[in-house]
């Protein structure tokens, strides 16, 4: 459908924030169907907090146990109060509480640093993913944006970008290359998803 106003997204993470940065930059350059209304971090020390401050985006930190009821309640209230239409995970390493998925009507996206369905699931995060890709002698890797479900890395794929794995790649060099791909893919995939919203 054609929208006259931008879709309000929140970015949730606890990492360096490089994907949050890419999402904010694309929006700031007015090249997207979304606006970043809120950044939520589960750690006050995470790089993603710095990104939010640099970009002038409202930041909320929810600390404590992400499996607990308090986390679910606080996150749910933030999403409601800020009228968030799509929740975008970027470096959120835990399963999202099912109540949040229901509240968001399934409009939750995640980015994974490999070509799902391969190299996904519990324990497949960060450098472990790239170690596994290299150990399996894959000639290609990349990044996947998918809809979040109640299981790790299993929802419908929204977009993927591929890169070759070179014989000289280490897990670290591959991680760096995949990150660059993620930064191109994520803003485009969020827009792609928004186009499918009723």
What residues line the site for ligand GRF (CB under 6 A)?
Answer: 13, 15-20, 48, 90-91, 111-113, 179, 182
Query: Closest CB to ligand GRF among 47 and 97?
Result: 47
DSSP 3-state of 51: helix
Query: Closest CB to ligand GRF among 57 and 81?
Result: 57
User: 172: how many CB neighbours lie within 10 A of its CB?
Assistant: 11
Q: Which residue is nearest to ligand GRF (CB)?
A: 15
User: How many angstroms separate the CA atoms of 64 and 137, rounded?
Assistant: 39
User: How many angstroms separate the CA atoms of 91 and 20, rounded?
Assistant: 9
Q: In angstroms, what is the minimal distance from the CB of 15 to ligand GRF? A: 3
From the candidates 82, 105, 112, 146, which is the catalytic residue? Answer: 112
Cβ contact 89:109 at 8 Å: yes
Extract the tokens encoding 189.
Answer: 């995939």
Q: In angstroms, what is the minimal distance from the CB of 198 to ligand GRF? A: 27
Sheet holding 140-147, edge to edge: 59-61, 34-41, 7-13, 86-89, 108-112, 140-147, 157-164
Cβ contact 14:42 at 8 Å: yes
Q: In angstroms, what is the minimal distance from the CB of 187 to ligand GRF? A: 12
Residue 82 is a catalytic residue: no
Q: In angstroms, what is the minimal distance from the CB of 17 to ligand GRF? A: 5
Query: Closest CB to ligand GRF among 72 and 175?
Result: 175
Catalytic residue numbers read: 112
């Amino acid at each position: 459908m054609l929208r006259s106003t931008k879709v309000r997204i929140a970015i949730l993470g606890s990492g360096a924030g490089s994907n949050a940065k890419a999402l904010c930059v694309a929006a700031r350059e007015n090249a997207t169907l979304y606006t970043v209304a809120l950044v939520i971090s589960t750690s006050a020390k995470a790089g993603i907090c710095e990104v939010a401050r640099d970009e002038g985006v409202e930041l909320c930190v929810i600390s404590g146990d992400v499996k607990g009821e308090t986390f679910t309640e606080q996150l749910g209230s933030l999403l409601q109060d800020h009228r968030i239409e799509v929740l975008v995970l970027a470096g959120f390493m835990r399963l999202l509480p099912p109540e949040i998925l229901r509240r968001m009507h399934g409009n939750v996206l995640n980015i994974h640093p490999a070509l799902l369905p391969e190299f996904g699931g519990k324990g497949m995060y960060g450098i472990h993913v790239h170690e596994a890709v290299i150990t399996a002698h894959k000639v290609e890797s990349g990044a996947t944006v998918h809809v979040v479900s109640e299981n790790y890395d299993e929802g419908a794929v929204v977009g993927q970008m591929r890169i070759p794995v070179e014989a000289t790649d280490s897990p670290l060099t591959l991680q760096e290359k995949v990150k660059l791909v993620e930064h191109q893919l994520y803003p485009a995939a969020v827009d792609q998803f928004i186009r499918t919203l009723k």
